[in-house]
Structures are given as C-alpha cells and as structure tokens.
Amino acid sequence: MTEHPFRGLLADYLAVRRALGFKLTRDGLLLDQFVTFCERAGAQRITSELALSWVSAPKSASASWLNLRLSVVRGFARWMQALDPATEVPERGWLPPIRRTMPFLYSEDDVGSLLAAARRLRWPLSAATYETLIGLLAVTGMRVGEAIRLNRSDVSLGDGLLTIADSKFGKSRQLILHPTTVGALRVYLRRRAEVSPSPEEPALFVHPAGNRINYEAVQGTFKVLTVRAGITPRSPQCRPTLHGLRHSFAVDTVVRWYREGVDVQARLASLSTWLGHADAKWTYWYLSASPELLGLAGERLEASMGELP
C-alpha cells in the first residue's frame, strides 16, 4: 500500500520545527490524527472545509481545545501551502477568540500560608518536597515543569547556581540563587537523604516512594494545599494555580524595580531571559494584569511627561 503523501510531508514539517527548538509532542500527535483523517477522506490536498471538519469533530470539546486543534492545523497548512499553492489555510476567525484566564497573583502572606500547609502534609518526604518546591517556584519564577525535571546534579550549592537544561524551545539557562534559597535547598537535600527510600534517585524532587514527582501529583497536591491555606478563588476566572507563582514573581520583580527608580524598560530583556521567554512579548503579557504595576507605570509616564518642555 502506497504511503499517503501527507505522511512524508508531516515528518519533514515536524523535523524542521523540532530542529528549531520546538518539542511539538502534543502537536505531533494531533497532526498524526489529522493526516489519518485526510487519508480516510481520500484527500489529496488540504482544504478549509476538510480542516475545519477535523477541528470540530470532538462534539463536547471546550473552546480552548478546538482553538488549539485549529492552530496546529493552520501551522501545518501554511507549510504545505509553500509546497502546493492549492492548499487552503483555514481562517483563524472561524472560532471565537479565547480569553486568557485572569492570573492569580499571590501575596507574601499567601506564599507563607502555602509553605505552612505543605509542612503539615502527612508524609515527611512529601512535606519537605512540597515546601521546597513551592518556595523555589515563588522565588525563581521558573516553570513547574522545569522544577519537576530538575536533577540533583542541576543544583550547585557551592556556586549558588541552578541549571535548567533543555527547557521550552530547547533552551537552557542558569539562575543565580539567593543565599537563603541555597540554604533551603541544602536543608531539603539533607532531609531527602534521611527519609527517602531511594536516596540515590537522580531527581531533585521526589515522592514518598523515592521516585521523581510528576505533574498530575503536583497539581493535585497543590489544590489540597490552597484549600488548607485558606486561599480561595477571587472570581470564576481568577483561581489559584501553580502558574500563578511564576506570574507573581514577574510582577513583583517589576514592581520592585519601579519602587527603586531603576530603568524598567532596560531591564525587561533580563527578566525575559531569566524566565526563559523566547519572545519579550510574553513577558509584557505577564505584566499586564496587575493594577499596582500599571499604576506605577502610569506614574512614571506622568513624571516623564511633566519633564518635557
């Protein structure tokens, strides 16, 4: 049986984009399903009707999932169109736009309550792991997935450095740790060695069984901790999430810069690099949801306008 031409083209498309640093794990699975759909339809080219038929196939899917499917197909269709001008790229406006969830910004008291709740977890290793994990996310702004993938070898306590290897877009970076963070990690590693059934496990953060923690377990435990810490949603669109710790770090950093009177615009590139953003526009989006930050920016703008002749 002859292989459908879309198969080879999909392999080329994924290979090129992955060479540019995109992991495309989920995109690859979705596009494989889309090509199978095209094969069964006997299609020799991508049309908007064909693409949208596949995008809308899950009848009970959420709007965000349908938009993701559409975005994935549009990327592949644009690639195909460069090779075959007859290829049609489905319009983005076919689906209503998705509104981003309002980020939940944590106060210092909120973080303290989360850490206290983590210390009260039933298993000693879980208590140590989640207290240290939440603290590290709060003071570095790193992605939770990056923290989960950390190995003990990625932490250099003597140098005060933490290495995040092969993260989003295939990039790696190093974070300089505050002495108090170094101290907290040193305490955790000592406690981990005492109570873990697998002290030689290379992962930094581990379950009571001694193996690496996973995203699903972290999400579930964090929900429990927010309840125990008394941290409740501020609205249906603004709920406490792990990602909110990263968002809070970015906002708090820029608020501190404004209060110190430094040139914030000049430092934003450094913040983007620290956060591991491939494009500074994502850093700007992080900063758009804080009334306090927008107020400080407005005051700085008014002051500069007042100095003009």
How many residues in the chain? 309
Q: Are 242 and 131 in contact (CB under 8 A)?
A: no
CA distance 110 to 118: 12
The structure tokens listed for 142 are 């790193």
CA distance 21 to 9: 19
Q: Among 64, 69, 68, which Cα is nearest to 51's?
A: 69
The structure tokens listed for 222 are 């964090």
Strand, helix or coil for residue 283: helix
- Just list the catalytic residues: 143, 168, 243, 246, 277, 286
- Cβ-in-10-Å burial (0-12, 13-18, 19+) of 210 comes to middle
Strand, helix or coil for residue 113: helix
Strand, helix or coil for residue 203: strand
Q: Which string of b and e fits 111-143 if b means at least 16 CB within 10 Å? A: bebbbebbeebeeebbbbbbbbbbbbbbbbbbb
Sheet holding 155-156, edge to edge: 155-156, 161-164, 173-176
DSSP state of 309: -
The structure tokens listed for 148 are 């989960």
The structure tokens listed for 127 are 């208590």
